[in-house]
Amino acid sequence: MPFLYLDTSNLATTTVADSTTVQKIPPLTLGGQPRFLTPWGNRITTYFTTTQHVPYDHIAYYPIQVDTTSTYDRIGVGVTSINASLTRTFTYDIGLYSNNSGYPGNLITDFGSVNVTSATASSNQLITISQVLTANTIYWLALGVTTDDPTTQPYTYTPYLASLLGDFKNMKGSNIGQSSPVSTAPAGLVFVEQFGSYTGSLPASSAGTPSLGLSGYPLISLRRSA
């Protein structure tokens, strides 16, 4: 843990109610704090051999919680490098949902979309937002994935995105992505709905019973307002 040092060379004095003179301690100026927030997980550089993701049209939901109420002004995904084999445009719809007993609930905010093509170089694809997240409240970030050619979507032809590998307790023992509930088995970073049928419009409410849990998935980042 870093130490904090008090500069005592410029302390003012003040007289309190009982006529005692005391020194006024100036506010401490702290260093810059990280502004970017991501769902819990380990950053990974390879998934499906590279940083490609599941190519089929679908919605993925990530649980997220903050310990300080704050306003966030950017949200998006990160392109790690160009995939020269990419032949189609991928659209990522990003939204925020409430929590409903450990599952995604109602749509709070639809933030809009970002597009990634074979010409999209390494960069952060961000949307300008103004969203307050309340401390100690579970939310679900949603990423809706569609392409302009949904008929043939091989795993080798998706954008290279920064990704996470996760394992959440609320996905254990829930028969999500498992043949039977196993309390000790890794059970995913995200819940998935509308697999192969999502058409590009985030629903007003999640179905509440996701059919699949994935342990590796593209990372969504939020930036806290300065």
pLDDT tens for each residue of 66-119: 888 999 999 999 888 888 888 888 999 999 999 988 788 999 999 999 999 888
Report the range of poorest mean pLDDT among 161-165, 184-188, 217-221: 184-188
| Model confidence pLDDT, tens digit, residues 8-65 | 555 555 554 555 544 444 554 444 557 877 776 655 555 444 557 777 888 999 888 8
Distance of CA 114 to the CA centre of its chain: 15
- The CA-based angle 194-119-141, given to 5 degrees, is 35
**pLDDT value of position 154:** 61
Torsion of CA 193, 118, 162, 103, to 10 degrees: -10
Amino acid identity of residue 39, one-letter, is: P
The structure tokens listed for 46 are 């390879």
